[in-house]
Structure 1
Amino acid sequence: MGSAEFTMLDKDTGGMGNSILAMPPRLSNEKFLEAYEVVLILDDREIFGSRGKRVVGNIHSKFHVPVEIKRLPVGDGIWIARHRRSHTEYVLDFIVERKSVTDLVSSIRDSRYKDQKLRLKKCGLRKLIYLVEGDPNPLGASESIKTACFTTEILEGFDVQRTTGYSDTESTYGHLTLSIIDYYSTNFSIGANTCRVCLTYDEFVKKCCDPKKLTVSDIFALQLMQVPQVTEETAIAVIELYPTLVSLARAYSMLDGDTPAQEKMLNMKSKMVNAGASRNIFKLVWGEG
C-alpha cells in the first residue's frame, strides 16, 4: 500500500479552527521537524508473535522512522511528537486498533468489538483507524467482516484499513507514519496557535485509565449498543443527553404515556439517533412492544 492511499488525512483536516487536528505547542517561527521527532508507539501486547522485534526493525529500516514499544491504555498504536530539547511527549491526533480477522470474528461474537470501539471514541484522539489484517475467506466469515468494516467506517466514522498480513501491516504503519509527519509539517505553522493542544503522553494515559472501572454511563452505553440499530455514535449521543438509564426513563415519563412521542423522542433530540434506534431504545427502557 502506498502513502497516496491514506486519504483519511484529507478528511476534515483542511482549513482553520476546529478542522485542524490537535497540535503540539509551537514557539514562534519554528518548524515542526525542527522542534519535534515523530515516534510510532506500538502496544507491548500487540500480537506479532515472534515477529515483534523484526516488525519494529523492518518499519524503522524501511521508512526511517523511530518505533518504540510501550504499554498503551487503549489501542494498538499511536504517534507521539517528542520535543527535541525538553523531551516532552505529545500524543498526535491518531490512534490505531489492529485486528486479525480471527480476533475480529471472535470479538464480534463476544461483544469486545463494541466495547473496544467505545473506548477508542472516548480516548480524546480524533482520527480513529481500524486496521483489519488477513483474509477472512478461509474462516467462512467474509460477509460478517465486510459488514463490520462497513459499519465501523460509514456509520461510526473510523478509517478502516485492510491488510493482507504482517508484511502489509508493516507497510501500512510505515506509510501512515510518513503521512502523519507530512500532515503536521504542513499544518504546524497554521494550526499550532489556533487549535487544540495535543495531550501529553501522561495526560493521555490518565484520561484513558481514570477511572479504572467503567462508569455508570459507560455501562449504560454498552447496554444501548446491544439494541438493534444502535451504533457507538448513537449510544454516545444518547448518554450525552441522558447519562443514565434512570434519567432517560424520567424523560420518557414526562411525556405522560404518549407512546408515539416517546418512541420519537431521541430521534427528535439528536440527529445521531435514527427513528428505528429511537423506537428500539424506548422499547428497551419501557419494556413494551
Structure 2
Amino acid sequence: MSTEESDNSLNRISLVNPANRLIYLKLIELREIYRNKSPKLCLSLTKAITSLKRYPLPITNLREIFIIAGIGGQFYKHLNRVIKDKTPTVEDDDLKKHRISSLYRICEFMQMNNYFNAVSTKSYRPPTYSNTWTFLCILGFFSDSNNEANSRLTLDDISSMFNEFSKIFPKAKLSSFGFLKILTNKQIINFKRQGQEVVSHDDFQYRYKHRYTYGLTEEGRELVESLLSKLDVPLDNIKATFTKIFDITNGIVTNRSNNEFVNIDSYRCSQFDSPDSVSNLVTKTPTRTLTVTDLSNSHRSDSRTDHDNQMYFKNLRDRLKIKYGIDVFAYSDYEIITVVDKRELHDSNGKYFVKLTNLFKDANKSLVFKQLPLGDVVWIIKMNLPTQNEHFHINGGDGYNIDGVGLGPKGKCSSNNKSNKSPNKRSQEDPEEQDWYVLDWILERKTTIDLNSSIMDGRYNEQKLRLLNLRGFNRVIYLFEDSPLEQVTNKFSKLGQRALNYKAIKTSKINTKFVSGFNVINTSSLSHSACMLLYFHLAIESYFKEKFRTMRVMGDFDLHSFISKNHYTFSRFKDENRKRFKLTYSELFGRQLRCIPKMGEQLTSAILELWPTPYLFYSVINKLTLDEINKAISQLKRKCKMSKQVLESCRNLFMNSSCASSHLEVDSDILGEQKSA
C-alpha cells in the first residue's frame, strides 16, 4: 500500500511548481521514514504533500514552508533547530537520529541548493524608483564584485551621490535604509567594517549601519544589471558623468581656475564614443578613486582638501552657472506677491487678518492688502525686486500695519494722516504698481452665510457673469468656506425668511463647478482658508520658478519682456475690470423685486415689462385683484403666476412705506393740477 501511494505521488509531480519539486521529493522520503515510527507525523506529511501540489508559488525561504498545510509548529521548530545545529529533545534515540538526518536533508536543500538560490534571487525585484532600487543602482555604478576597498561605499557616500542621481531620475527616492537587512539576507549585498573582512549576513546590526561599507555580490550584480537594462536613459552617459564627477572629487583635476578645469561640456558622452561597452553595464570604479570618507584621511594640504570637498558637493545649480554664465535657478529679479482684497477683512475681531499675516510672515512670503475691482485674492509678480531682505510687508497706505500688538485697521490717529494726503493719491501709488503684473489665477472666497446673502440679493449671479467675462485671467477659483452646521443653523435662524435651504446652497456650489466651469475648493474653517491661500502662493511660486529656469536653459530669455507680453499690469487689471456701468431705474427696481421672498426670475422680468416703475406697480397691486394680475402676466409669459404670499409681501413693501405714500401724494397733486389746467 505504501509503495502504491509513493508511486502515485511520483506520478503527480507534474502538478507541483518546478521550484518546489525537490521539496516535494524530500517530503515523500520523510513520509516513508516515519510511516511505522510516528503515524501523526506521517499524517501531517501526507497533508503537506497534498497541499504542495496545490501551492502555485515557488517557496523561497524556510519561513514560507510553514504556510503549507500539514507542517505544524513542531515540525517548523525542528527545522530551525537543525539549522542552528541544535538537537531536538526526543526520548527515542532511533527516532532522534532519523529526525535529525531526515530534517537535515530538507534544510540542506533549502539553504545550499544552487537552483533554489537562483530562483530566490531572480524572484526578488524591487519596485522602480523605490528606496531599494535607488540604493542598488547607485551601488552598481561604483561597487566592484571583488570587494576592493577603494570601490566600496558608505551610506554617507550613497546619500551624497543621490543628489546627482535625483537630477537624472527625478522620481527616484532615498528616504530610509530599512531595506538593508533584506538585501543582506538575500545575499544581494555584502558589508564589512573598515579594516576588516566581509562579515556574514547573520552578523548584520542595523543600528551600526553607518559604520559599514557596502558592495554587491555576484547575485546582486546580476540583479542590478537587469534593473539598469530596462531604463530608457543611456547608461553610458550616466556612468561617464558620474565617473568624471567622482574623479573631480579625488583631485584628478589640475590647479586651474574653476572656469578652466570644470568644463561641463566634457561631461557629455554620446553612446558612440562611450568608454564602456553596453554589455558590461556595471563597471569597476578606478583604483585611484577614493571614497568621500577617505578624503579627510588623505595626506594632501588642507586647502586642496577643502577645495575638493567643495567641488564634490557642488550641485547642479553651480555647474550650470559655470556652463551658461548665468544662475538658472536665481529668481532675485522677481517676486510673487499675494494680494488680498482689504474689504474681506470684515470680521470684528480681526481673526482672518491675524491668521493671514502670521502664516505669510512665518513662511517669509509677501502679502499685500489692496482694494480689488473683482475677486478676493489675486497673485502678482513684481519685477526688479530690491536686494534688501524685505520679503514680508503689508501695504501701510491702505490702512493696515503689522508693527506692535495691534494687528488690524489703524485707529483714528491714522485717519487724520490719511486725510492730510494730497488728492493726487492715485498718481503717487502708480510708481509702486508699475512693475506689478497679474498672474493667471483669481480667487473668490465665499462663506456659507455670504453665499446665502449674495444669492438672495443677486450679487452671486452678477459676480459669476463678471468672472466669466474677466480679462487677464485663465483660471478662476471659487473657495467655499463651510462653517460648522450649528453655527450655520444659528445664523440662518436670525435671517428668517431670507435664509435659503442648505440643499439649495449645495446645488449652487455644484452649478458653479459643472455649469459655470469654475474650479471649486472647499475648506472647513477660516484657518483652513488662510492656509490654503499660503499653499496656493507656494505652488504658484514653484511653478514659475521651474518654468523660468527651463526657459533660461533652453535659450536667450528676457524675463521682463516675457512677463510684459503675456500678463496684464496691475493698473490695467483694475481699469478694465472695474464696474463702469451705472444701474438704471429699471435694474434697480428689478433688484428690489428679487429681494422679495419667492419672487422668481421670470416673474420679475414680467413685472418689469408690464409695469416698469414702482409707481405703476403700486397702482396695479392697489387696484387689481390677484386673478387679474396673473391674467395679465400669463398673457406675456405662460405658466408664470404670482402667489398670494408674494402679493402680500409686495403690498407690505410698497403700500406701507411712508416714503412711498409721500411720493404718491405729491404725484397725485401734480396730476390734479395738470387736469385742472
Q: TM (normalized to structure 2)? A: 0.27
Match of 1:127 among 475, 483, 489: 475
Whether the aligned pair in 2 keeps the contact of 1:56 and 1:68 (CA below 8 Å) is no
Match of 1:54 among 351, 354, 364: 354
Match of 1:161 among 511, 518, 521: 521
In 2, distance between residues paired with 1:169 and 1:36? 26
User: Cα gap change, 1:32/1:199 in structure 2, threshold over 3 Å: closer, same or farther?
Assistant: farther
User: Cα gap change, 1:213/1:35 in structure 2, threshold over 3 Å: closer, same or farther?
Assistant: farther
The aligned counterpart of 2:133 is none
The letter of the residue matching 2:351 is: R
SS in 1 for 2:483: coil
> Displacement of 1:93 after TM fit?
0.7
The letter of the residue matching 2:460 is: Y
1:18-97 aligned within 5 A? 33-49=331-347, 50-85=350-385, 88-97=435-444
The aligned counterpart of 1:178 is 538
> Displacement of 1:58 after TM fit?
1.9
The aligned counterpart of 1:116 is 463
Deviations along 1:135-191, one digit per CA (max 9) or x if unpaired, are: 363335432222111111122111111111111011110001111112222334559
Q: Which has the higher contact order (CA 8 A, sep 6+)?
A: 1
In 2, distance between residues paired with 1:129 and 1:32? 29
The letter of the residue matching 2:343 is: R
Structure 1 or 2: more helix by fraction: 2
In 1, distance between residues paired with 2:519 and 2:570? 23
In 2, distance between residues paired with 1:199 and 1:30? 25
In 2, distance between residues paired with 1:100 and 1:194? 34
Whether the aligned pair in 2 keeps the contact of 1:32 and 1:184 (CA below 8 Å) is no
Whether the aligned pair in 1 keeps the contact of 2:352 and 2:526 (CA below 8 Å) is no
SS in 1 for 2:332: helix
Whether the aligned pair in 1 keeps the contact of 2:437 and 2:564 (CA below 8 Å) is no
The aligned counterpart of 1:20 is none
The aligned counterpart of 2:290 is none
Deviations along 1:62-89, one digit per CA (max 9) or x if unpaired, are: 4331111001111111011000259600
The letter of the residue matching 2:339 is: I
The letter of the residue matching 1:97 is: E
Whether the aligned pair in 2 keeps the contact of 1:136 and 1:142 (CA below 8 Å) is no
Unaligned runs of 5+ in 2: 1-325, 386-431, 490-500, 552-556, 595-599, 603-635, 640-677
RMSD of Structure 2 on Structure 1 (CA): 3.7
> Displacement of 1:32 after TM fit?
7.7
Whether the aligned pair in 1 keeps the contact of 2:376 and 2:443 (CA below 8 Å) is yes
Q: Are residue 152 (structure 1) and residue 500 (structure 2) matched? A: no
In 2, distance between residues paired with 1:102 and 1:52? 16
The aligned counterpart of 1:257 is none
In 1, distance between residues paired with 2:375 and 2:482? 19
In 2, distance between residues paired with 1:186 and 1:226? 48
The aligned counterpart of 2:172 is none
In 2, distance between residues paired with 1:32 and 1:146? 45
In 1, distance between residues paired with 2:534 and 2:521? 13
SS in 1 for 2:445: strand
SS in 1 for 2:577: helix
SS in 2 for 1:116: helix
- How many residue pairs get aligned? The number is 201
Give the share of equivalent positions with the same residue, in percent.
29
> Displacement of 1:120 after TM fit?
1.9
> Displacement of 1:60 after TM fit?
1.0
In 1, distance between residues paired with 2:330 and 2:515? 34
Unaligned runs of 5+ in 1: 1-27, 228-285
In 2, distance between residues paired with 1:89 and 1:72? 14
The letter of the residue matching 2:359 is: I
> Displacement of 1:123 after TM fit?
2.4
The aligned counterpart of 1:249 is none
SS in 2 for 1:33: coil
User: Cα gap change, 1:62/1:146 in structure 2, threshold over 3 Å: closer, same or farther?
Assistant: farther
SS in 1 for 2:343: coil
SS in 2 for 1:172: helix
Whether the aligned pair in 1 keeps the contact of 2:479 and 2:520 (CA below 8 Å) is yes
Q: TM (normalized to structure 1)? A: 0.59
Structure 1 or 2: more strand by fraction: 1
User: Cα gap change, 1:84/1:30 in structure 2, threshold over 3 Å: closer, same or farther?
Assistant: farther
SS in 2 for 1:209: coil
Match of 2:573 among 197, 204, 210: 204
In 2, distance between residues paired with 1:41 and 1:195? 19
In 1, distance between residues paired with 2:485 and 2:479? 17
> Displacement of 1:35 after TM fit?
2.8
User: Cα gap change, 1:63/1:142 in structure 2, threshold over 3 Å: closer, same or farther?
Assistant: farther
SS in 1 for 2:344: coil
> Displacement of 1:214 after TM fit?
6.7
User: Cα gap change, 1:52/1:135 in structure 2, threshold over 3 Å: closer, same or farther?
Assistant: closer
